[in-house]
Structure 1
Amino acid sequence: MGAEAGTEIGFGAVAAAHPDRTALVEPDGTTLSYGDLAARVHRLAHALAGLGLGPGDCVAAMLPNSRAFFELRLATGRSGLYFTPFSHHFTTAEVTHVVADSGARVVVVDASLLDVAGPALDAAGIPAERRLVWRAGQASQEPAVPPPGWTDYASLLAADPATPPPHPRAGAVMLYTSGTTGRPKAVRRALSEAPPGPSPYELDFMARVGVRAGAYTQLCAAPLYHAAPGLFANMAMQLGHTAVIAERPGTEDWLELIDRHRVDALFAVPTVLHRLLRLPAEVRGQYDVSSLSAVVHGAAPCPPEVKRRAIDWLGPVLYEFYAATEGGVSAADSADWLARPGTVGRPLAGTEVRILDGDGRPVAAGETGGVYFRPAVPFAYHKDAEKTERSMRDGYFTAGDEGYVDEDGWLYLRDRRTDLIISGGVNVYPAEVEAVLIAHPDVADVAVVGVPDAEWGQRVAAVVQSEPGIPGDDAFADRLAAHCRGALAGFKVPRVIEFRERVPRSEAGKVLRREIRVDGAGPVSGA
């Protein structure tokens, strides 16, 4: 559903109309009103200008989920600046690459991360007045003495006025891709001359995934430096929501936060849904989740059995989208998915989808090929025209996924092309096998990969994380193989099943296949 009648759209309009409405609930329970947040955003915008930043410059941030993320995204978004948040788990080498490659002129770092970030900022030549220390908690709103070579974030804001800066201009977020096949590259979009506020594309996307404007509450618990969680957090401010910020909540913590704050909307990766469903029914029953009207998932495939059970539990409030850092593609609500199990929806407004074969020719409806889409907002890889050109065909981009479109225009995904297993000349899509294995009640997580085989080229292998108390032994492997044979063709059944304490995943919920080694075979093909 879209914005409700009579509601304000855009952070500035919401703050002016409802200055006393709670904008943020921080992880420690501290609250901040829209009026107070707007004052801090204005101070920050003035401070950045005072440091010499102007339209087109970049501000980077290495932060856990916190109020500072919201302030930085809003201030850069009304100053014509690029904002580049990145993982607070990065090493010094990774920080060095992002800061230098982005050309960041100001970098904000959490106080707990100075030892990691400091050498990187030294290498990038960031002076003390433009390397800012953020301290989480109520005390962070008060000026403090910074460590040598750094500037205190709160002190910088305290020196500037709370009045709106003149000549507001929309900024943009410049995020780095995951870098699974090399060093991360930034996705950069041209700045517009438009005033700050949500774009028609963003508003349409939110409407397609059931997120509406008004006095609602959104849980922001996924890492905000990722594309989707960051977008949902920013749109919470543009739509007038109260954003409840959580940093690395445990599985049951999600339910406690939903219950305590009467959460209306949230974004989660499928792994979170799976873990919630694996909680005992009596534990889930302790929490009231009836306030939820939009549980949005994306970033990784959701096994059909997990999605069905989630809809049975929560009601028809699940919304799915398919997207990449480079742009959004499609969306589907619960009714869409139940009518067409497995679909990731129809294209978003302004987005066109094509399915192409290896030679770039369109394939017929129902036939599998590479998924290409024309982004609603054009982009280029920062400082890498060659990569931009390689990823495109006639203006259509691919993230490397395989899929098909049915006769009615609904998109379905098979898997990433690089993850495809070819065994005896036959294609095996890991996501299909994973969906069967994860439906077994004793499987907590799973990743399916291909390993070299002298006879077949590749064989199907599964890395399984069993539920607590379930031994990862030959007997369990035999039960899983029998389970697969009941749902899959013989050539798709894993020939190798290995048990691990955990399946490696990124914070975005994607399997880190490059970290998986099976049966001493070395790095798995396609990583």
Structure 2
Amino acid sequence: MSTTAAKTLGLWNIAGEQPELPALIDPDGRAVGYGELVAKANRYALGLEALGLETGDVVVLLQPNGSELVAAYFAAIQSGLYIVVVNWHLVGPEIAYILADSGAKAFLAHERFADTAVAAADEAGIPASARFAVGTVPGFRRVEELGAGEGEGRPQRHTAGSPMLYTSGTTGRPKGVRRPLTGADPDQVPAASTWFFGVFGIGPFDEHVHLCGSPLYHTAVLNFVAISIQLGHPAVLMDRWDPEEMLRLIERHRVTHSHMVPTQFRRLLALPDDVRAAYDLSSLRVMIHGAAPCPLEVKRRMLDWWGPVVTEYYAATEGGGTVISGEDWLRKPGSVGLPWPGSTIRILDDAGEELPAGETGTVYMKMGESKFEYHKDKDKTEKARVGDLFTLGDVGHLDEDGYLFLHDRKADLIISGGVNIYPAEIEGELVMHPKIADVAVFGVPHEDWGEEIKAVVQPAPGVEPSGALTAELLDYAATRLAKFKLPRSVDYLDELPRDPNGKLYKRRLRAPYWEGHPVP
């Protein structure tokens, strides 16, 4: 799929010069040109303006991956609106909370989530006039009515909007990360966007094709699709990720880059050798992964298969991060890389003092002079900060060359008999056992030690839990881990609770074991 060079960047500029150029490939395989995408984004923007939405107001989307979602996103971006894309795995009351907390003035849902959308809108008190649906949802107007009869131009208000992303809420109510609107011209691609893609060696109109295999409600996933389109790169959207279907799409559309998570790597590696060898993947140039720890052996096997195109980064919705190429990772296995240009990474102790290279502490970061706040949560904002640095709660160290190595989430740290134990290391070893599909490790109460190590395992397909399996897994662990890191017991579940981007909801697993005990 070729992109002939255009004179200027940006969705609306490209649409004016090359309206037939593919901007998206919808999950059904239909190509959507820049002109068509802009026409829909403009109509939605006019409709939202006609509803009375003003600069700084909020639009909430509950939609699967597709051109409708992307058009609504760009409608907000050109109209000075905040756009919240909701995790469609949430239930009605959880979505109602986000609708109310964000102050949503319009709610655009999809018929796939009709029951949840109706329950959430009712509970949050969203008026009927502000409810729109792709397809049929009771009490919602069809989205085709949004902007119908308002003409074919663009809204009078012409100022850049912004995503307002809600944190995952694994440790409580989700919080919106809301940045001040810049007042910039939405037709001009922010320098930060071209800079960010430049971190991965991706430039405007350089024949790149992006593949989106994760839900667009994730920060990075949405950013990669939006920036790709703004830089003249078509985005191939998947509705639900499937490993062989991904390989087919890479070959079909000559995909060059994607944003992935380690869970997807493991499922790709589990494909039969003949399936993996059946597709031409020679177009791949930079396959980017982050969001969750990647076991070392999984990373090595992906590099063996795809070559040095596998690039890793560590970043935050709030700003800042690191990146490491495949070549560098082979020199520094386990590292998540060096800070981005303009980004600062520091390791601090519990007193907020900086630690030297090699010593483990809490990872703090910042990106230039970037400012953010957690919406309606000043206390959370302040607790995450030391001076102008903030933390996600991760624990790690910097080596003598400035490369960052992550150990675990501080909240997941196990302290057993006064010894600090990092579950991610144990999980990374256990998950390589062929009879384990997924695993979570955490601390459970112990009268003498404070905590002991528990492993909860999702067996591989066709494997049944048993005492013999537990013995086999513990014997395996003993060949790869020091004795003090070995799980003392193993429980089994049919499936571990993860979101589609690979993040494990460990709090849900751990909570039942701590009932009646003070949580450390």
Length-normalised TM-score, structure 1: 0.92
SS at 2:362's partner residue?
strand
Q: Which residue, 149, 158, 168 being the options, matches 1:178?
A: 168
Deviation at 1:18, TM superposition (A): 2.1
Distance 1:54 1:243, change over 3 A: same
Partner of 1:356: 348
Aligned to 1:512: 505
Q: Which residue in 2 is equivalent to 1:143?
A: none
In the alignment, which residue of structure 2 is the partner of 1:98? 98
How far residue 7 of structure 1 moved from its aligned partner, in angstroms, is 6.8
SS across alignment from 2:356: coil
Q: Could you tell me which amino acid in structure 2 is paired with residue 437 of structure 1?
A: L
Equivalent residue number for residue 405 of structure 1: 398
* Residue in structure 2 matched with residue 199 of structure 1 by the alignment: 190
Q: Does 1:42 align with 2:45?
A: no
Does 2:202 match 1:211? yes
Task: Tell whether the 8 Å contact from 1:450 to 1:525 is kept in structure 2 after alignment.
Answer: no
Counterpart of 2:79, as a letter, is S
User: Could you tell me which residue of structure 1 aligns to residue 19 of structure 2?
Assistant: 19
Mapped partners of 2:513, 2:226: distance in 1: 45
Asked if structure 1 preserves the Cα contact closer than 8 Å seen for 2:335 and 2:404, the reply is: yes
1:384 aligns with 2:377: yes
Amino acid at match of 1:37: L
1:43-98 deviation digits (Å, cap 9, x = unpaired): 22222111111211111111111212211111111111100010122211111100
2:324 corresponds to 1:332:
yes
Q: Which has the larger displacement, 88-97 or 208-217?
A: 208-217
**Shift, 1:420, TM fit:** 0.5
Calculate percent identity across the aligned residue pairs: 44
> What is the CA deviation profile of residues 125-156 of structure 1, one whole-angstrom value per residue up to 9, with x for unaligned ones?
32222111113xxxxxxxxxx66632221122
Maintained 8 Å contact 2:444/2:513: no
Asked if structure 1 preserves the Cα contact closer than 8 Å seen for 2:288 and 2:310, the reply is yes
Name structure 1 gaps, 5 residues minimum. Answer: 136-145
How far did residue 292 of structure 1 move? 1.4
TM-aligned CA distance change 1:524 to 1:9, over 3 Å:
farther
Is 1:279 matched with 2:275?
no
Of the structure 1 ranges 156-165 and 371-380, higher mean CA displacement relative to structure 2 is found in 156-165
Distance in 2, Cα, partners of 1:125 & 1:472: 47
Residue in structure 1 matching 2:142, options 145, 149, 152: 152
Q: How much does 1:524 deviate? A: 10
Once residues 91 and 37 of structure 1 are traced to their aligned partners in structure 2, the CA distance between those partners, rounded to angstroms, is 30
> Unpaired runs of 5+ in structure 2?
none
Specify which of 261, 264, 284 is matched with residue 256 of structure 2: 264
Give the superposed CA RMSD.
2.3
Alpha-carbon distance between aligned partners in 1 of 2:300 and 2:7, rounded to the nearest angstrom: 34
- Check whether the contact 2:291–2:314 (CA below 8 A) recurs between aligned residues: yes
Q: Distance in 2 between matches of 1:289 and 1:367?
A: 41
Q: 1:32 to 1:4 in 2, by over 3 A?
A: closer
Kindly tell me: are residues 100 and 423 of structure 1, through their superposed partners in 2, closer, same or farther at Cα, counting changes over 3 Å?
same
Q: CA deviation at 1:364?
A: 0.8
How many residues were matched structurally? 515
SS state of the match for residue 73, structure 1?
Answer: helix
Trace 1:218-233 onto structure 2 (pairs within 5 A).
218-233=210-225
Determine which of 166, 169, 178 is the counterpart of 1:188: 178
User: 1:516 and 1:246, CA in 2 relative to 1: closer, same or farther beyond 3 A?
Assistant: same
Write the deviation string for residues 217-250 of structure 1: whole angstroms up to 9, x where unpaired. 2111201011111111111211111111111122
Task: Name the structure 2 match of 1:420.
Answer: 413
Q: What SS does the corresponding residue of 2:320 show, helix, strand or coil?
A: strand
- Provide the rounded CA distance (Å) in 2 between the counterparts of 1:77 and 1:486: 54
Normalising by structure 2, what TM-score?
Answer: 0.94
For residues 268 and 41 of structure 1, do their structure 2 counterparts lie closer, same or farther at Cα, with a shift above 3 Å needed? same
- The aligned residue for residue 126 of structure 1 is 126
Indicate the SS of the match to 1:158.
Answer: coil
User: Which secondary structure state, in structure 2, belongs to the residue aligned with residue 400 of structure 1?
Assistant: strand
Which range moved further: 486-495 or 196-205? 196-205
What is the CA–CA distance in structure 1 between the aligned matches of 2:4 and 2:361, rounded to whole Å?
40
Deviation at 1:193, TM superposition (A): 1.7
- Alignment check: 8 A CA contact 1:218 1:264 kept: yes
What SS class does the counterpart of residue 183 from structure 2 fall into? coil
Q: Is the contact made by 2:108 and 2:133 (CA closer than 8 Å) also made in structure 1?
A: yes
Say which of 218, 229, 237 aligns to 1:237: 229
SS for the counterpart of 2:456 is strand
Do 2:80 and 2:181's aligned partners in 1 also have CA atoms closer than 8 Å?
yes
> Which of 460, 464, 474 pairs up with 2:457?
464
